[in-house]
């Protein structure tokens, strides 16, 4: 699920963004819709931020899978709620709606792109919302808003569309103590890691680990951009085949 333990998550911008939108959902005025969509490219740290906010807000968190049916989804939500499924799909739906309404806890569905590919699953999630009037946060990839546009009755119930923020220098400074605790990395090198990351928190995190490993081998306590030189860094691209 998350890339690091929930006890060691850096307070980067995306964590603040998700926390704010969750607070907006939970404390919305009567009559306002209770759905929000958090979306962005892979590697932007969406799941890590979402898991952390789920723990803080006591939200039910379910990470969807491509092979799930409607009944699978309902059973997984009930499992997260600690409730034994009670039979047919209609009964499972009733159980979920009753628990959400009674507990007043939000529901987070991660990897929601899998549901967006099937009209029946989107309508099922709308049924969960309509039947409970709870707060639902849906998390997915960059094109998720476009995928949901064709479901007009669903699309119109979204209170907030939240794009994930690309990683910044300030984020890298907060990630460094977690992924490179034994070596101090200069801001110039951190900025370089951000620049080659294409916005990805994951790529910066991988490079922080790699920089620390190299620094420890070299016997460095600190490392700057100049000191790093032209040593390779992780960009997400497959290595080129060397000429024979």
Q: Token pair for residue 158? A: 């979204």
pLDDT of residue 168: 97
CA distances from 24 to 4, 136, 144, 192, 232 (A): 26, 11, 21, 35, 43
Q: Is 5's pLDDT higher than 50?
A: no
Beta strand extents in 111-163 (DSSP E only): 136-140, 158-163
The answer for residues whose C-beta is within 8 angstroms of residue 187's C-beta and 6 or more apart is 169, 173
CA distances from 99 to 53, 78, 91, 238 (A): 20, 9, 12, 47
Q: At what angle do helices 187-195 and 169-179 cross, to 10 degrees?
A: 110
**pTM of the full predicted structure?**
0.90
Q: Token pair for residue 91? A: 């009964």
Q: Is 15's pLDDT higher than 70?
A: yes
State residue 4 phi and psi, 5-degree precision.
-140, 165
Query: Which residue ranges form the domains of the chain, and what is each CATH number?
Result: 6-163 (3.40.50.300), 169-228 (1.10.8)
Place 87 in a pLDDT band, splitting at 50, 70 and 90.
confident
* Calpha distance 23→28 (Å, rounded): 8
Q: Is 54's pLDDT higher than 60?
A: yes
> Per-residue pLDDT averaged across 202-217, rounded?
97
State residue 22 phi and psi, 5-degree precision.
-65, -40
pLDDT: is 7 or 81 the higher one?
81
Q: Token pair for residue 31? A: 């009559």
């Amino acid at each position: 699920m998350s890339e690091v333990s929930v006890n060691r998550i850096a307070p980067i911008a995306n964590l603040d963004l998700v926390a704010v939108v969750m607070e907006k959902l939970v404390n919305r005025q009567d009559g306002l819709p209770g759905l929000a969509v958090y979306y962005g490219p892979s590697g932007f740290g969406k799941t890590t931020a979402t898991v952390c906010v789920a723990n803080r807000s006591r939200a039910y968190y379910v990470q969807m899978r491509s092979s799930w049916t409607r009944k699978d989804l309902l059973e997984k939500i009930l499992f997260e709620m600690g409730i034994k499924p009670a039979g047919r799909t209609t009964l499972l739906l009733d159980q979920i709606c009753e628990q959400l309404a009674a507990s007043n806890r939000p529901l987070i569905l991660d990897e929601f792109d899998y549901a967006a590919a099937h009209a029946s699953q989107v309508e099922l999630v709308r049924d969960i919302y309509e039947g409970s009037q709870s707060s639902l946060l849906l998390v997915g990839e960059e094109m998720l808003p476009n995928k949901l546009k064709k479901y007009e009755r669903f699309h119109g119930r979204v209170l907030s569309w939240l794009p994930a923020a690309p990683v910044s220098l300030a984020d890298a400074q907060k990630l460094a103590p977690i992924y490179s605790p034994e070596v101090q990395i200069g801001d110039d090198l951190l900025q370089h890691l951000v620049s080659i990351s294409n916005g990805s928190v994951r790529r910066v995190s991988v490079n922080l680990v790699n920089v620390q490993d190299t620094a420890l081998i070299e016997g460095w306590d600190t490392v700057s951009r100049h000191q790093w030189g032209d040593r390779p860094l992780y960009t997400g691209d497959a290595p080129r085949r060397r000429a024979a």
